[in-house]
Amino acid sequence: MSTQVDTQENTVAIVGGGFAGLAAAHDLGKRGFQVTLLEGDSELGGLASSFKIGGAAIERFYHFICRTDAPLLDLVEELGIGASLHWRQVRTSYFHNGTLYPFGTPLDLVRFNPVPFVQRLRFGLNILQSRYLRDWQRLDGVAAPEWLSAHIGAQAYQVIWDPLLRVKFAAAAARISAAWIWHRVWRVASSRRRLWERDQFGYLTQGSATLVHAFAQAIEAFPGVRLITHARVSQIDLADGSVRGVRLENGGYVACRHVISTVPLPVLLDLAPDLPGEYQRQLEQIKYIGVVCLLLRLRRPLTNCFWVNINDPAIAFNGFIEYTNLNPRADLAGSHIVYVPLYIAPSHARFRQSDQSLFDEYVAALQRVNPEFNADWIEEYFVFRERFAQAICHVDFARLVPPHVTPIPNLYITDSIQFYPEDRTISAAIRLGRQVAQIIAGR
């Protein structure tokens, strides 16, 4: 993988080396285009990039695969790494009022006594209805709290959904789109083989690094494609109303005919300040939240669950993911990996909270869930932050979602907002990158 940039003119420059950028580079390279992909960090993969623990590649943020993730599953087969894909049934729990309740099957739901029995049935019916719903557009103009309360009941909403939305989106929770919530339910429910079974998710043997490595190898086999890391873009050069090239922080310049931006829209606005005023104002209306994620490497498992949701006013976060209860990671020599994410505005003081302070607070919180847990279980910990982790998909969000083609000739964008009503997934990023490549190739 190259780390140098020269001034050779290229057909396409791609800003960002996440899966959308990699997918676009792959499909354009396959068609014979000259492509330079520029990634500012040391690793490819974007939010799905990895780092090393004892020589093993571990994702900075958790990911899992659902059976509905067709673009990802197709790519796995295309790259010949199908043997690395595995499926496993996992447990889900809900921590409420000091008790950890199983929450992964219809029988678990029937036994979930914090919610009245009739509302438990309504909750299950809502999942079933969501699985078969296709006309999501009518939910775009409805607020999630309103939609959920009407379908599952007020108390079920307050116990189950309210903390998940309120902790994540704060004041914006009241206006989150029902369409966005629907798709989260649909994706997980549709991944089950049978309704009465536990959730079944997929994983790659060494996580997303398996896919990144295979993808990069396939891309670099095309003679006209370069994947360049440590290449931070400072400006997309727009002159006379068209794309001219990309400037780098190190003084380098990549001349090109087309630019694909795969970075979050707030970053794009900084890189291309000369976008047309009306278009710029449209993009500025889209707001994002960041994420602070604590990753723990433990000597023993914290729970027997992959996913634990939390409704506890004494705990800042609304859940954690025990990743090795999905993917055992034999290369970690028996260690267990736990992710504790907190979604929060980058301007909030908690986003800048020191690693040690966050670690101390979260260890105490996890002891509420499992009183046996203590710091002696912890082999090491890491904290990762991302300023623009997710857009706030509010009511009527569809009207704000821009197309891939921008008002600037030959400037194209991909962003997770274009997944809407889907949440952020590797699969959706692959789909978007391929769509942009198809647009450019068609022109």
Q: Tell me the pLDDT tens digit for each residue of 341-358.
A: 999 999 999 999 999 999
**Mean pLDDT score, 358-383:** 96
* 414 or 128, greater pLDDT: 414
Residue 10 has pLDDT above 70, yes or no: no
Q: Which pLDDT value is given to residue 1?
A: 55
Reported pTM: 0.94
What are the C-alpha distances in Å from 22 to residues 3, 60, 272? 16, 18, 22
- Spell 28-57 as b/e; 16+ CB within 10 A means b: bbeeebbbbbbbbeebbbbbbbbeebeebb
Percent of the chain's residues with pLDDT above 90: 87
d(CA 329, CA 331): 5
Cis peptide before 114 (omega within 30 of 0): no
Task: Return the amino acid letter for 398.
Answer: A
Q: What angle do CA 385, 387, 393 make, to 5 degrees?
A: 120
347, burial (CB in 10 Å: exposed 0-12, middle 13-18, buried 19+): exposed
d(CA 21, CA 246): 15
Residue 8 has pLDDT above 50, yes or no: no
Instruction: pLDDT band for 11, please (50, 70, 90 cuts).
Output: confident
d(CA 256, CA 244): 6
Q: Which pLDDT value is given to residue 398?
A: 96
Q: Which pLDDT value is given to residue 16?
A: 97
Residue 9 has pLDDT above 50, yes or no: no
**Mean pLDDT score, 371-394:** 95
CATH class label, 10-63+207-286+399-442: alpha beta
Is the Cα dihedral 18, 21, 23, 29 positive or negative?
Answer: negative
Q: Which pLDDT value is given to residue 159?
A: 95
pLDDT digits (tens, 9 = 90+) for 124-162: 999 888 888 888 999 999 999 999 999 999 999 999 999
- The number of C-alpha atoms within 13 Å of 84 and in the hemisphere containing its C-beta is 21
Instruction: pLDDT band for 4, please (50, 70, 90 cuts).
Output: very low
d(CA 381, CA 383): 7
pLDDT digits (tens, 9 = 90+) for 19-77: 999 999 999 999 999 999 999 999 999 999 999 998 899 999 999 999 999 999 999 99
| pLDDT, mean over the chain | 93
Q: Which pLDDT value is given to residue 5?
A: 41
d(CA 414, CA 35): 17
Domain with CATH 3.50.50.60 in the chain: 10-63+207-286+399-442
SS3 50: strand
